[in-house]
Structure 1
Amino acid sequence: MKRILLVMALVSSMTIANAQQAKDIAAAKAAVEAAKADADNAKKATKVATWLNLASKYMAAYAAPAGSGWAGATSQELALVMKNARPVSEETVVVNGKEMTKTSYANADYYFADGRLSVIDVTKPIFDNALELALAAYVKAAEVDTKGSKTADIKKGIQTIADKYNEEAFYAYTLGNMEKASEKFEACAKASATAPLSKEDGEAIYNAGFTASNAGNYERAKAMYEKCISLEYSGEDGDVYAKLADAYDKLGDKSRAKDILEQGFTAFPSSQGILIGLINYYVSTNSDTDRLFTLIDDAKKNEPNNASLYYVEGNIYKELGDVEKAVAAYEKCAEINPEYEFGFIGAGILYYNQAVEIQEKASQEYDDNKYMALVAEFETALKNSIPQFEKAYAITKDNETKLSVADFLKNAYYRFRDEDPKYMEGYEKYSKIVAGE
């Protein structure tokens, strides 16, 4: 009997909670209808307050089905603010290869990852386009606000809409819906650009292109990235050029892809993304790679004291398999700027990776003599990396870079720790550094 009563009490509490939420939803919808009636009134429609009220009611209707949750909240925190909300179901799901807990409510699904709310997916909105309607109301408010007395409020409201579109975009991205994410990122940018806010959000447009590319819609990606460039938004280290070139390449226009990469390289000669794109182009099309060095030489003429350009040159030679010239270019960095550590890091990584490749080859060699010859090559390459990393460690001032270099040194010294006391000292020294001792 007690169990039956407990079940009945639980069902009753869920019914009450759902009834309360349904009541809140109905109230939000009724408030919009009342505000719309005012906006349809010729006399009231001339007042900015009418349109601000309509916009705020649409925003309230937008928020109502989502409940009181927020991204990053724990279940315990949500329990405090959502006492009247009862989940309909709960299950473990895999989203984009990641296990999540999906808790379904009457009007929205909550996705939890690592114990925190990650995504709110509204399944039963009051209005399918509440944000769009709210934005239109703010635009109308700006039109009738001839004195600009409410401009600050209108701009704030539009910014909130842009932020909500951006939030929806990231939710869609997390759930793996790239097409929806792209649309929402673009909507975010359009809202930001709406007067009187009038802000061009290059990052949102870039994200719209990135997610369109992930969805395989390269025409849309191309349009978004070209929009970024027209707004002089280049992303991190000119990344937009690399992404735009990739879109052209995917669409079959390799010539245009090359032109975009060269244009980007001129503006961002140190960009790894652009550089790799150019190298891949010239190698895959069997074109004359001398063009790469013409571009880097032009950059050197403009910035003769820029050590990073020699680092880029070293990377080009490395990708083309010319170790000797790559190392020479890396070492030139220190001549230009003794405080520039990345030339030494580039040379160190080149030798280190060379050792790893030789080790892999040796592991597949069954002839003893050939095997021993490969082991000797492996040890030579690995030892060559040590002085390069030591120089980098000595001059770098960035703690994260120091730690990364120390890890390389620890691994390199480990191989020779029984060969000479100096290698054991090196291993012990960098092991402690990596361990944070």
Structure 2
Amino acid sequence: MNQPLVTKNAPVSDRVCDAMAVSLRGCEELIPQEDWQRKLVRSEEKGVPLRIKFGLDPTAPDIHLGHTVVFNKLRQLQQLGHTVIPLIGDFTTMIGDPSGRNTTRPPLTREQIEANAKTYFDQIRLVLDMDRAEVRYNSEWSDPLGARGMIQLAARYTVARMMERDDFHKRFTEGRPISVHEFLYPLMQGYDSVALKSDLELGGTDQKFNLLMGRHLQQEYGQEPQCILTMPLLEGLDGVEKMSKSKNNYIGITEDANTMFAKVMSISDTLMWRWYTLLSFRAESDIAQLKSEVEGGRNPRDAKVALAKEITARFHDARAADAAEQDFVNRSKGGIPDDIPEVRLSGAPLGIAVLLKQAGLAPSTSEANRLIDGGGVRVDSAAISDKALKLPAGTYVVQVGKRKFARVTLA
């Protein structure tokens, strides 16, 4: 991790030192630190907030905790008084971001982009103060650029430099196709920084090439180059792969409070501390004290509960977090949660696998049978091992795994 930089020849105020500490907390890289410190000093002296850009390509409508690592940093910088600019890449999304991909990313339609953007904003409000943010769309300047402007922009970067990018280089050496339009994506993202005159751009570590492009193009256009701040990719619930919906190791920020709390409680004790650094708003000194207490013998479960409650309260409220904790305790003791869904089915007597599928507790009868074989299915607290079981008419509390429940009335 980077450490706050304070030059001997240019002493800075406590406020700038604090801003540097906030900027560096949990970050992977801040490039270059000296320039960012100078920008902070100038901002304080002139009373002019810095412009902080974060590009959003709404390729999917749902946001998970992994996405919020960068949003949390934006929130911290926003609270320091700087201008946060969530930039919707409605133009660049129609090109398709090739970052980290071995194949060409399919572009989205404008209708898909607009629908996803609306959902993004509804969710981002749970982290950022959108009333104080400067929301922009890059079609504002990209559409008017036209063919002539696009050619002039492309002349400011070389193919050789573009091929230094890892994903392009790998695809080229493996003989995989690279479409010419994919070279336009980093150019257009960099041009966004020129249009916005950004002082700092945030992104994940996988976006470093594109962020540096912004610095290069700002210099080409005679502007002071932006600094770049990259944040690590958050490991998901498994503690191995980055958080991803496709890998089913994620926590969606719109998930219900009980599920959110229970998922946080499922992570390893080791992963918990990394999540504290990247997701918690607690002071680093408080986290260090908590970690010291755990290393001294305190139950790590206490620290995990505190993290689960903080995250759950952020996206719901304190009351919901308290209720989720109690629900988790009830489930841990084998109890039945208070607010389980009610399901009415017909066709008694009904096979247990079919019942699980129709009740929404299993995606298919084959998966239901697999769950039964694994000992993960209970009816009225009794474990079920007979896949041929048929339930007569009546009301049953059906449980799958530790967290899925339904009160099924079968007629």
The two structures share one fold, judged by TM-score above 0.5:
no
TM-score w.r.t. the length of structure 1 is 0.24
Query: More strand by proportion, 1 or 2?
Result: 2
TM-score w.r.t. the length of structure 2 is 0.25
Higher RCO (C-alpha under 8 Å, 6+ residues apart): 2
